[in-house]
Each structure stands twice: as structure tokens, then as C-alpha cells.
């Protein structure tokens, strides 16, 4: 199973109810909304499917919508260097 976890060089701070990500050493930032902040919190090695299932329950959305949104969000944060996905993430989570 492929898991998702926070990248070692990513730093997160909660400011005013939003999570602000800072990627080191480049100091690039990303501000997450409520759903993005929740995905970030759940990215502890669990699968994207498990994250989507939890979001569908918490935000009362269709499972297919949650899966699509999680995939798009994780893709973007992997490209930005804030998240990692793979077997190692699943084992370490």
C-alpha cells in the first residue's frame, strides 16, 4: 500500500486556524485551507484512500469527490516538496 507523509524538510505552522507550510532550504511557503490542513494532519503514512475516506466522513462529501480532491492535493504538495508518497511512507507512518 502506498502511503503519504510529510517531507522531512517541510515545516508547518498554524496561524489563525490555517496551516502555513515552509519548505527548507528554499523558504517557499504554501497556505492551506481547512480541508488542506486536515489532509496535512492525516498525512502520517496512511494511504490516500484512507485519507479520502476520513475526509468524506468529516466534511460530508461523496467518496469519489474526496478521492479526487486528495489525489490532486497530494500531487501538488509532492511536486512542491512538502509531501512524499511511497512504500516507505506507508511503513514509517
* Topology adopted by domain 3-92: Outer Surface Protein A; domain 3 (3.90.930)
In sequence order, which ranges of the chain are alpha helices (DSSP H)?
34-42, 48-59, 63-79, 87-92
45 is written with which cell numbers?
503514512
The residues spanned by each domain of the chain are: 3-92
Q: What pLDDT shows up at residue 37?
A: 93
Q: What pLDDT shows up at residue 91?
A: 45
23 is written with which cell numbers?
519548505
pTM for this entry = 0.85
From the list 17, 90, 19, the residue with the least C-alpha distance to 51 is: 90
24 is written with which cell numbers?
527548507
Per-residue pLDDT of the chain (93 residues; tens, 9 = 90+): 689 999 887 889 988 878 999 876 677 788 999 999 999 999 999 999 999 999 999 999 999 999 999 999 999 999 988 899 887 554 444
Amino acid at each position: 500500500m502506498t502511503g503519504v507523509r510529510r517531507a522531512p524538510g517541510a515545516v508547518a505552522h498554524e496561524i489563525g486556524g490555517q496551516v502555513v507550510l515552509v519548505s527548507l532550504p528554499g523558504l517557499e511557503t504554501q497556505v492551506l485551507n481547512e480541508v488542506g490542513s486536515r489532509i496535512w494532519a492525516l498525512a502520517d503514512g496512511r494511504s490516500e484512500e484512507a485519507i479520502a475516506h476520513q475526509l468524506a466522513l468529516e466534511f460530508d462529501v461523496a467518496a469519489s469527490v474526496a478521492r479526487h480532491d486528495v489525489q490532486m492535493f497530494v500531487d501538488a504538495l509532492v511536486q512542491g516538496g512538502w509531501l512524499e508518497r511511497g512504500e516507505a511512507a506507508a511503513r514509517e507512518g
